[in-house]
Every structure is written in structure tokens, then in C-alpha cells.
Amino acid sequence: MHRPLAKPACVPAAVLALALSATLPTQAQETAADTAGAAEPVVAKQPLPLWEIGVVAIAAYQPAYPGSDQDLARVRVLPFGIYRGSLLRADGDGIGLRGFRSRRFEWDVSGAGSFGSSANKVRVREGMPSIGTLVEIGPALKVNLGDLVDSKRDPRLTQLEIPIRAVFDVSDGFAHRGWTFEPRLSHTAWTGSSFALVVSASTLFADRSLNQLYYGVDAPYATADRPAYDASAGLVATRLNASLRHRINSTLRLQYFAQVETVRGAANETSPLVRSKQDAGIGVSLIWGVWHSSESGTE
């Protein structure tokens, strides 16, 4: 549906900028799409700096939420901060504390985020509370599988990520909105000196509280066309993603992304707020590290 750090002046904006730049295209609770190895092509003799402070510009055209039949255009320009330490990580692939790291397994704390959906812009939700801008944080187990595909391949270029995350609403004082679980398999299909193509598949699950935010209709908001509905915990959506990353230089990165998802078989497929069983989204983001260190970060 589906982030924390070396902080710029505006902490909520910085958290959201990193979360969105790492997870788009998303609806609600998208997890970090790619591993550090998969996310960035390697430009010879241009290692990424230890820290950066700059801006991220994001433009996307996506459904308002999984199951919506209405697409929304979103554009944001936000500040961000990045730190690429051996233990603490806060970068375009997520925000995390590396608790354990080996060739096969990684255990850390990481996050994700998503745009909100104003009720006055979504016809089927007219008169209902808006869906706020959400961020997530929680532990994640990552299993590196790349060398099982090809023994000469970096294990981290094919990765199974298994995160459990708490969800908070930035638009409402970081109020807790629920929990998500989204196992995700990502694979770097192609990489060049300055480009990388990453594809991934995931299934998103949420608890009742978060699903109620998206699909529940409380009695005061029920109408003839939108009967009252109590959401249940379970599957939210199944997703396929593709991301083309272009590393222009060590502090300027461009990302094109696309996503298709379906709510067929979802726990709340019969909600009156589900008006489309499948949808797609596209977008682009530009990350510019205006200020950065001369010291290289840890890969």
C-alpha cells in the first residue's frame, strides 16, 4: 500500500522523501523495492558518497489505492538526507540498521512509504475521511539468492525480502494505523555501467486496522451506493514491478518505474470501495545530492 536518519531540517519531509523515492510506484504500503546491490548500477571509479543532503523530485500517475478505479497524478519535491555507513543505512533503497549481514542472509530494520489519497479527489470515497501519507518501519529478513541463479553472480542481485512493518500516518501526527507483511522477490534482470533494470513480485498483507482504513465503510458514511462494510485482515494485493535506474553520476540518479497489481482473491475484494480488480501505475523520480561528503560510503 505500500521510512529514519542523518536528518535534514524537516524530519517528516526527509523521511517521506526517502520512503517514496525508494518504493514508488506504490499504493498504501509498498516495501523497499530493491537491495542496495540491485538498486544502483556501478559506475567505474564513481563510488557513492558517505552522506548526502539534497532534494528528490517524484512524479507518478497511479490508482488512489489498490482496487480503486480512479487514477491520480502526484508530484512532490522534498528534501532528503542519506547516510551509507557499514551499520546505519539511510539511502534510496531504504532506511535501516544492519543487525546481521552475511553472504546469504541479512537482518535489519528498514522502512517504506506512500502518498495519501484525499477523499475529495476520489469519487467513491466522497464524504469519507482521507487516506493520509503513510510511512512504515520494522524488521526485515533478506535472503540473497543471486548465486543460486548463476554461481558467478552477486548473491544480493536476486533477493527475497520478508518484512513486518508498523504503519504510521504522517498527516495525523504519526498516528499508528496498523501492520503490514509483504514478502517480496526482486531480481536485477540487467545492469550496465550506469543503468540497472530490476523486476520484482510481492504479495501484500495487512491487519484489520489498516484494511479498515482502505476498505471499511463506517455507518455514518454509508449510502445507497456505498453500504456499510467492516474490513478484515488478510491479503491486500499481488504486485509486479519494474524499475529502470540511471546513475548519471555519484550524486544524481534517475529512476523510471511501473507497477501492475490485482486485488483478485484479496480479503476485502467485496468491499464497496473496490471498483477495479486490477490496475497499473507509472512514474519517475530524480534524486540530487546537492551537498555530499568526499568520503565514500560502504556498499
Rounded CA-CA distance 154/186 in Å is: 13
Residues linked to residue 169 through DSSP beta bridges, in sequence order: 134, 175
Q: What average pLDDT score do residues 200-208 get?
A: 97
Output the CA angle 237-241-245, nearest 5 degrees: 150
Contact 8, 20 (CB under 8 A): no
pTM: 0.80
* pLDDT above 60 (res 17): no
* All structural domains of the chain with their residue ranges: 11-292
Alpha carbon 297 to its chain's center: 23
Sign of CA dihedral 47, 297, 30, 159: positive
Q: Where residue 270 falls among pLDDT bands split at 50, 70, 90?
A: very high
What residues contact 225, with CB distance under 8 A and at least 6 apart? 272
Q: What integer pLDDT is reported at residue 30 of this predicted model?
A: 38
CATH assignment of 11-292? 2.40.230
Rounded CA-CA distance 23/153 in Å is: 25
Q: What average pLDDT score do residues 109-136 get?
A: 86
